[in-house]
Amino acid sequence: MNRLSRSLTPARLKVAFVLTLLTILLLVSYRVYLTVFETTYHDVHATQIERIQQQAQDDTNHDWHFAVVGNINNSIGLFERKMIPRLNHAGLDFVVSAGNAVSGGGEDKYRALYRSLSHLNMPYLLAVGDEETDGFGASNFYKHFGPYFFAFRAGNSQFLFLDGSNPHSYAFQLHWLKERLRDVSALHRFVFIGYPMYPASDKSPIDFDVQYLSDNTFRDQLHSLFSSYGVDVVFSSSLHLFDSQKRDGVRYVVTGGAGGLVLNNNTSFYHYVDVTTKDDGVSIMVKRLDIGQHKIFKTLESLWLFIHSLFYVGWLNSLLILGLLTLLAIKLYSAIFVERDYYRSYDLNDTRWRRRPLVIAMMTNNYLPFIGGVPISIDRLRRGLEHLGHRVRIIAPSYANEDDGSNDVVRIPSLWNMGQHSEFRLANPLSWRIGNELRSLSPDLIHIHHPFWLGWTAQWQARQLRVPTVFTYHTRLEHYSHFVPLPGPLFRNLIAHTIVRRFANRCNVVIVPTVSAEEYLRVIGVTVPIYVLPTGVDFNWYQTPKPEVVNRLRCKHRIQRSQRVLLSVSRLSQEKNIDFLLVAADALRRRSTQPFRFLIVGEGEEHQRLQERIDTLDLADVVTLVGAVTPKDIVTYYQLADAFVFASKSETQGMVILEAMAAGLPVVAVRSSGIDDLVQHERNGYKTAADIGAWVAATQRLIEDDALRLNMAQCALGTASRYTIDRLANEVSEIYIQMLAQYHAQRFTAVAQ
């Protein structure tokens, strides 16, 4: 069951589905409304000035009654719904915004403002403030309203609008302003500039230097012109208060209470400035408004403006939102109305897949002659399946010393290797040979052994061939961050788990070697069927005694009969935790009276560093790095040893532990996911924490107590006997058949529908 349907009850799912459909319907209707009824607008100021001048021609009195507002900030609840009705009933000739009429310079904010101002019963004009030019606001202001600074004459009054936001135009504005002020016939002069020119008498609730005109030289030159030419009033906004002061006969008024932030105290309150002109002067009164807006309604207003913004700016936003809601509706519909049976079907007809051998393609990022757990596991599975009569073809990287001996291993040219000893070869995932070989093989399925690189290619090819995929989770990817050119914590904690989850969920079936590996996959979110199936061993091969070869090895490594032999088989790589074993061997040598030798079989990029560590610890007479040994010959080392030791925490299944048990070796291992299911503590070995003292104590008991060691050896043989290659091949074959029957039954159902 998906996460959505698990988190909601059926009744709530139905409610969510209905609400989602209603939301889609409402948004589609709103989009249609915006397209049909919302009109475009340009050069608004030209029309508004004509209306004002027409009033002057019709009224021979030439007196004006107008209002100045500041910091509207796109307020709907306050300015549009509460202040505009009062302005409409105040007998005004027109309204001027002194700046910050919008809350941002976006197209959506300008359109919302235009809709609000359309409720005024009189002309209106806007000065450029800080918010008008925010972002790309300057271009939007110019497109919709007109130039940033302009002037006009109406009756016996002159109105001048300046742009304080653009320092590059200051010099030109001064020249332009001086020319306009030479009109000596004007009885009254009013200037509007968004930024206050002088500090207010009272401190603003939000007071920053950027709220004032920043260029003092420009300010002083403006003031000189204003006082010389008899400007009556200079209006500004920006500050969240009302302030009036007079300098050299010029009154400077700051108004900032038309809808933005105020504190509703004696300094900061909602208001507008009422201006009346007479032949004998100008009357200015502040009209304080006892209005406010609840925080909840203010939040809802902001949310609505956000939705309006997304829909009004363009079709792309609309389609994106509707697309997401549609996907949610589909998900809800699927969770509610599509019936599911979460048990696998027991009525599948698998006869078609049982009466003939299967054709199986396997893709892996490494294979023999590279020695490692994954290649050996693949080779054993291949041999077991071929013994059952199935045909298996392996697609793997090319190596310098490969000797496949058959045509059922397809080698893909390698791009580069990732280790000093060529452990990892990255095959070319785009090689044409992969597709050609798969098409010629026409497999029934593709079995993938790594969740990346050739694994990605395998999934893509499977979709093209319309065949199912099986993924065997061999490796704890997060322990290989040192191979990846990314920050270690990022890869270990996020990327590795994401890669595994996404890859596994794109396969039809996942096979894991241990129960702990299955638990991990479920925890990270893998939802496809998972089968627990440990890798098998050729049990009889490890029982065949080879005393002469064992004696030669004893002589080769100068091992005395009185010495116990500890063995570890591992790639010499960082994730295998070899350093732990070296430190533990040093401690064991000092603690135990029983002489021993420690052989480490394997090769890797850490060889040189580990040898230097052995020399530093003076362990050369105790620890030997044997190097690489072929899978056929390694059984001799198992027979030479008395116990097997292991410290890696990166395994999904410690296959070498199973091999050691098949050779009759008890095990001492650091507890981890790949160890826990095989090692039965104090029966066939010891599981310890990653603690040197605990590990040394367990190993000391084994090498000093012969009876205990022999008893554990018998238990180890019993454990290994349950994991044979034949059993593995039979169970994997059964998984293949069930998966193929399920896959093709679902395909037939999908085509029929």
**Interatomic CA distance for residues 222 and 197, integer angstroms:** 9
Q: Kindly report, residue by residue over 551-572, the tens digit of the pLDDT.
A: 999 999 999 999 999 999 998 9
Residues 286-300: tens digit of each pLDDT:
999 888 655 665 556
Closest CA to 380 of 658, 646, 644: 658
- Give the lowest-confidence range in 298-307, 518-527, 610-619: 298-307
Check whether the bond before 369 is cis (ω within 30° of 0). yes
For residues 163-170, average pLDDT: 92
242-251, 402-411, 425-434, 528-537: segment of lowest average pLDDT:
402-411
Mean pLDDT, rounded, for 66-95: 92
| Topology match between the domains 351-532 and 539-723 | yes
Residue 662 host element (H or E)? helix 655-662
Question: Buried b / exposed e across 445-475, counting CB within 10 Å, b at 16+?
Answer: bbbbbbbebbbbbbbebbeebebbbbbbbbb
**Burial environment of residue 12 by CB neighbours within 10 A (0 to 12, 13 to 18, 19 or more):** exposed
Q: What span, in angstroms and rounded, lies between the C-alpha atoms of 327 and 335? A: 12
Whether 341 shows a pLDDT value over 80: the answer reads no
CATH entry, 351-532, from 3.30.465.10, 3.40.190.10, 3.40.50.970, 3.40.50.2000: 3.40.50.2000
Nearest of 598, 601, 597 to residue 576 by alpha carbon: 601
φ, ψ for residue 642, nearest 5 deg: -105, -25
- Residue bearing tokens 């008890």: 666
What is the per-residue pLDDT for 673? 73
DSSP string, 383-439: HHHHHTT-EEEEEEE--TT----SSSEEEEPEEEE-STT---EEE-TT-HHHHHHHH
Instruction: Among 176-190, 708-722, 735-749, name the one with the lowest average pLDDT.
Output: 735-749
For residue 337, pLDDT beyond 90:
no
Burial class (CB in 10 A: 0-12, 13-18, 19+), 132: buried
Local structure of 458: helix, strand or coil: helix
pLDDT category at 10 given cuts 50, 70, 90 is low
**What pLDDT does residue 462 have?**
97
| DSSP string over 360-375 | EEEE-S--TTS-SHHH
Q: Which residue has the higher pLDDT, 631 or 199?
A: 199
Q: What's the token pair of residue 564?
A: 């116990």
pLDDT at 573: 87
Share of residues in the chain with pLDDT > 90 (%): 57
* Percentages of the chain per state (helix, strand, coil), in multiples of 5: 45, 20, 35
Q: How does DSSP assign 295-343, residue by residue?
A: HHHHHHHHHHHHHHHHHHH-HHHHHHHHHHHHHHHHHHHHHHHS----S
| CATH class for the region spanning 38-293 | alpha beta
Supply the pLDDT for residue 1.
44
Residue 59 CB partners (closer than 8 Å, separation 6+):
155
3-state secondary structure of 165: coil
Greater pLDDT, 475 or 90: 90
Q: Alpha-carbon distance 217 to 226, whole Å?
A: 14
Amino acid identity of 269? Answer: F
How many angstroms separate the CA atoms of 133 and 469, rounded? 57
CATH classification for the domain delimited by 539-723, as one of 3.40.50.2000, 3.40.50.410, 3.40.50.300, 3.10.450.50: 3.40.50.2000
Lowest mean pLDDT among 20-24, 337-341, 589-593, 623-627: 337-341
Residue ranges with strand state E in 553-638: 564-569, 596-601, 623-627
In contact, 336 and 10? CB cutoff 8 Å? yes
Domain boundaries, the chain: 38-293, 351-532, 539-723
Q: Write down the mean pLDDT value for the chain.
A: 86
Contact assessment for residue 180 and residue 151, using Cβ atoms and an 8 Å cutoff: yes
pLDDT band at 487 (very low <50, low <70, confident <90, very high): low
The whole-number average pLDDT for the span 578-596 is: 96
% of the chain with per-residue pLDDT over 70: 84
Contact 642, 661 (CB under 8 A): no
